[in-house]
A and B are shown apart, each in its own frame.
Chain A
Amino acid sequence: MKHESDKLNEVKVLDSNITFEQIYKSEYFPIELEEELKKCDVLLIPTLVERNEDEHYVFPEQTMNFYDYAKGFLEKEHISADICISDKDYKEFELHSIVETIATIIVNNVAFPFTINMISSYLYEKITNRNNINKKIKVNFEVVDGKKAKKIAYEGDASSFKETMEAIKIFEE
């Protein structure tokens, strides 16, 4: 997570080996919610940060609001989404940053376009609420298609997010 960004709408597509199965085995995965979370095509996952010799699994500030928005939006598209942490372990890492970091999302390839629409709609509300057309964002995806996986990292203007993401091809044959 970063405080600032001077990136001009940069998107990176990299090979990845992260799978849903690995997430289910991670130390932050809440066993008590296993049944619900394993049905999801979209999961918000925490980031490990190290500060002052302590390690914490954290989500960016305002993730709770984003979680509500994501769940509500994607449910209307019949896509199940959730957050991969228990209530008691949920922590937000506040940078009070001008760059809005969105929680890392692991998503099935079929649900990816809906997830892009959801984030775009969320950002549109943010931009208009604060009258901030220059808002910068940072978001990472782990997109899974069967046995293949790609990591997609976007950093740049919130207003260009949708257009930039729609232009990329993830799993080219």
Chain B
Amino acid sequence: MNFINETMIEEYLSDFNELYLNKEVISKLKSYKEEYVNHNDQNTAKNIWILEQVYKVIAHYIKAFRYLKQKKHYEAWCELDRSDIELSFLYNHIDRTNDKFKLEFISQKTKDLQLLFPYTHFLSREAIVQNWKCSICGNSITLRNRCSHQLGEIYNGEMCCRIAQDMKFEAFAIVTDPFDKYSVLMLGNQEYNYAILDRLMEVWENPFENWRLEKNYVIKTEYLNLKRNDTCPCLSMKKYKKCCMDTPKVYDSNPFYKVIFNNKQIPKEYNENITAGTWKNN
């Protein structure tokens, strides 16, 4: 495809539903942006930054899909996280009502896929940070002395960030719901069980084909068939109705998921339930 202007690229990205993006898009956008910045056309330069971000979100997402097809699960996990991060930079700058670039779809699929990964524990770092500078002008930023650039805003087609100058690592914590999702704990003698994802990938043919995830919880055995005035099984000695009734405590903490494809005939062998633990051979 020969792109002659940014409008063509916008249409290309908005109609895109394939497995590989045209790599020419990024270099074209860069050259258009340079031109608009040279003419100090800040609005158009910002619109091109938006297209660059859309490209990145889609590129990471479809790369994750391809990795999942190749059973490169951790690589796919990192790509999904990157897609989500790039998307978060965009949210302040786009109209989300019409979902022109299918970004809401990608965001939802990313969240759904993350739920199907077996990862449960991650590392979270602790650091003390001091002294920052502005990514746009390079000036030092302190509490009461700033440049005029606003964090997250777009200047000359680039997003304003803070660059930490002095960072001292202090500790790691082991957590279950991290901000840095790439920091998955890998155990030398154990292999993660990706059976659920692998089953999905046998049926899911295109990254833009829709499916939805139904999340269900099972009531714990001790709470089954209880009456309101029965003693609560949690050993509180209170009545069930005044204790755990209608609270999340009655459900098993591990949900089970059902993947539902609309308007698609799923072969019978893929419709059987899978019970998959975190680790293989457990």
| B-binding residues in A (CB < 8 A) | 3-4, 8, 51-52, 56, 58, 61, 64-65, 67, 83, 85, 87-88, 90-98, 128-131
Q: Which of A61, A95, A131 contacts B107 (CB 8 A)?
A: A131
Interface residue tally on B, bucketed by range: 20 to 34
- In the bound assembly, the distance between CA atoms of A128 and B107 in angstroms comes to 13
- In the bound assembly, the distance between CA atoms of A87 and B142 in angstroms comes to 6
- In the bound assembly, the distance between CA atoms of A92 and B171 in angstroms comes to 14
- In the bound assembly, the distance between CA atoms of A130 and B87 in angstroms comes to 8
Question: Distance in Å from the Cβ of A138 to the closest Cβ of chain B?
Answer: 14
Contacting residues of chain B (75-107) with chain A, CB-CB under 8 angstroms: 87-88, 91-92, 107
Is the C-beta of B187 less than 8 angstroms from some C-beta in chain A?
A: no
- In the bound assembly, the distance between CA atoms of A52 and B169 in angstroms comes to 10
Q: Which of A87, A92, A94, A130 contacts B125 (CB 8 A)?
A: A94
- A52-B170, A129-B92 are known contacts. Are A98 and B128 too (CB-CB below 8 A)? no
- In the bound assembly, the distance between CA atoms of A129 and B151 in angstroms comes to 13
- In the bound assembly, the distance between CA atoms of A93 and B178 in angstroms comes to 16
Q: Which of B87, B124, B130, B151 contacts A90 (CB 8 A)?
A: B130
Q: Is the CB of A87 within 8 A of B145?
A: yes
Q: Is the CB of B126 within 8 A of A94?
A: yes
Q: Which chain A residues lie closer than 8 Å to B107 at the CB level?
A: 131
Q: Which chain B residues lie closer than 8 Å to A51 at the CB level?
A: 126, 128, 170-171
Question: Distance in Å from the Cβ of A106 to the closest Cβ of chain B?
Answer: 17
Q: Is the CB of A61 within 8 A of B129?
A: yes
Is the C-beta of B180 less than 8 angstroms from some C-beta in chain A?
A: yes
Count chain A CB atoms within 10 A of each CB in B87, B143, B145 and give the residue with the most: B143
What are 14 A-B contacts with C-beta separation under 8 Å? A4-B175, A4-B176, A4-B177, A52-B170, A52-B171, A56-B128, A64-B162, A88-B142, A90-B130, A93-B128, A96-B179, A129-B88, A129-B92, A131-B91
Interface string of B104-144 (1 = CB under 8 A from A): 00010000000000000000111111101000000001111
Closest to A89 in B: B130
Is the C-beta of B173 less than 8 angstroms from some C-beta in chain A?
A: yes
Q: Which chain B residues lie closer than 8 Å to A61 at the CB level?
A: 129
Q: Is the CB of A85 within 8 A of B143?
A: yes
Q: How many A-B residue pairs have CB under 8 A?
A: 76
- In the bound assembly, the distance between CA atoms of A129 and B96 in angstroms comes to 11
- A3-B124, A128-B91 are known contacts. Are A96 and B129 too (CB-CB below 8 A)? no
Q: Is the CB of A92 within 8 A of B128?
A: yes
Q: Is the CB of A90 within 8 A of B179?
A: no
- In the bound assembly, the distance between CA atoms of A65 and B170 in angstroms comes to 23
Known: A61-B129, A94-B126. 16 other contacts (CB 8 A): A52-B170, A58-B128, A64-B141, A64-B143, A64-B162, A83-B143, A87-B144, A88-B142, A90-B142, A92-B128, A94-B128, A95-B124, A96-B179, A97-B124, A129-B88, A129-B92
- The 9 lowest CB-CB distance pairs between A and B, nearest first, are A87-B142, A51-B170, A96-B179, A3-B175, A98-B177, A94-B127, A3-B124, A3-B173, A91-B130
Q: Which chain B residues lie closer than 8 Å to A130 at the CB level?
A: 88, 91
Q: Is the CB of A96 within 8 A of B170?
A: no
Closest to A58 in B: B128
Q: Is the CB of A96 within 8 A of B125?
A: yes
Contacting residues of chain B (165-198) with chain A, CB-CB under 8 angstroms: 167, 170-171, 173, 175-180
Interface string of B27-65 (1 = CB under 8 A from A): 000000000000000000000000000000000000000
Q: Which chain B residues lie closer than 8 Å to A3 at the CB level?
A: 124, 173, 175, 178
- In the bound assembly, the distance between CA atoms of A132 and B171 in angstroms comes to 27
Q: Which chain B residues lie closer than 8 Å to A58 at the CB level?
A: 128
- A51-B170, A87-B143, A131-B91 are known contacts. Are A94 and B178 too (CB-CB below 8 A)? no
- In the bound assembly, the distance between CA atoms of A141 and B31 in angstroms comes to 51
- In the bound assembly, the distance between CA atoms of A78 and B88 in angstroms comes to 33
- A92-B129, A129-B88, A130-B91 are known contacts. Are A98 and B143 too (CB-CB below 8 A)? no
Question: Distance in Å from the Cβ of A73 to the closest Cβ of chain B?
Answer: 15
